[in-house]
Amino acid sequence: MGGKKKPTLTQLAKAQVRREKEARRKRTEKEKRLSRIEKKAARIIPPNPGDEKVIRQMRSMKVITPYAVASRFNLLLSVAKDFLEDLHQRGIITYVSGGRNLKIYKPSE
């Protein structure tokens, strides 16, 4: 019976374009996935509590809540809570009030 027909030049060109387009799409998907991982990793590393810039920012805030800290430093809420507890132990901020779910702090004098 004969073998498979050879594709025309136009068919070869179209197939080449399709392969390049697919490779480009896969490459951008991989880059997006990697950037998401990097952003996520950045959100779980709190700033250095001994850093003067961080202390200055904390002292400029009237009321300090975990949500405010998480928003300002781009952190997860649980990381912000731990960070505030660390600052409280160091004496940089003072505990004001709060219950089990929310703790409110103010800068130390």
Q: What ranges do the domains of the chain cover?
A: 8-42, 52-107
- Residue (of 45, 86, 48) closest to 64 by Cα position: 86
pLDDT at 95: 94
pLDDT at 21: 94
Fold classification of 52-107 is Arc Repressor Mutant, subunit A (1.10.10)
For residues 60 and 97, is the Cβ–Cβ distance under 8 A?
no
Low-confidence residues of the chain, pLDDT below 50?
none
Instruction: Say which DSSP state 94 is in.
Output: E
CA distances to 17, 21, 40 from 27, rounded to whole Å, are 15, 10, 20
CA count, 13 A, side-chain hemisphere, 13: 3
Residues 6+ apart with CB under 8 A from 92: 49, 55, 58, 107, 108
Partner residues linked to 98 by β-bridges: 103
pLDDT at 84: 93
pLDDT at 93: 93
pLDDT at 83: 93
Would you tell me how many other CB atoms lie within 10 Å of the CB of residue 56? 9
pLDDT at 55: 86
Q: Report percent pLDDT > 90 for the chain.
A: 52
